[in-house]
Structure 1
Amino acid sequence: MSHDDANMDCSQALYRMMEYVDGEMTPEDTQALREHLSGCAPCLAERDIDQVLRQIVQRSCACEPAPPRLRATIMQRITTICDDGSWSEVTQVRHITEG
């Protein structure tokens, strides 16, 4: 979805639903999705399911920390530190050797 496009269709709403449920959208995109949900029962139902799923996962995993190797792998796939100290997206998957 373009950030200046106030109208959101179902495919855009469903694609970005977890981002919405997790509170990771811009205020403008959040408002656009809220407006869509106010008039779309199927997407609203999907939002409810995603919220319950998020709560179940959060409850089920709250006691167990992720294994260090998994955490490191995820972080390497998300970001990497450049030589100048800035952050950029990882374009290749790196393998962590066991040590």
Structure 2
Amino acid sequence: MGENTDCLSCVEITARLHLYIDRELDSSEIEIVQQHLTTCPGCECRFYLDEKIKRLVHDCCVIERAPRHLREKIMRIAKGEQVEIDPELAMKIHADLEGC
């Protein structure tokens, strides 16, 4: 976490990442999140991971609503739990995260 006292903690940033990715934050919150991401490699990596997962879900799911098992796994991941994922999907995620 950065030294700036205006900067939110990593936990608070993580809680806002999906809102940030979906562009649902106001301009002052966007600035705070962006500032934190530039000073915290862990949160920046988490941001890129979450963004990539969101893109993969969007690109891979052609139905209106994601399957129940996928929604459940995503919720478990969001809570910090470890989940088993398809090895091919894991390889895609790892490839996308190279350099993170």
TM-score by length of 2: 0.56
Aligned to 1:15: 15
| 1:30 Cα offset (Å) | 0.7
The aligned length equals 62
Cα offsets for 1:33-89 (capped at 9, x unmatched) = 00001100000000010010000011122x2223xxxxxxxxxxxxxxxxxxxxxxx
Higher strand share: 1
Higher helix share: 2
Counterpart of 2:8 in 1: which secondary structure? Answer: coil
Structure 1 equivalent of residue 37 of structure 2: 37
Runs of 4+ displaced beyond 2 Å? none
Other-structure match for 2:75: none
Query: Is residue 43 of structure 2 the alignment partner of residue 51 of structure 1?
Result: no
The Cα RMSD (Å) is 1.9
Show CA shifts across 1:9-38 (max 9, x none): 111101111111111111110110000011
Alpha-carbon distance in 1 for matches of 2:64, 2:15? 28
SS in 2 for 1:20: helix
* Structure 2: gaps spanning 5 or more residues: 66-100
Provide the rounded CA distance (Å) in 2 between the counterparts of 1:36 and 1:14: 11
2:20 and 2:55 map into 1 onto residues whose CA distance is: 14
Give the counterpart letter for 2:7 in structure 1: N
**Max Rg structure:** 1
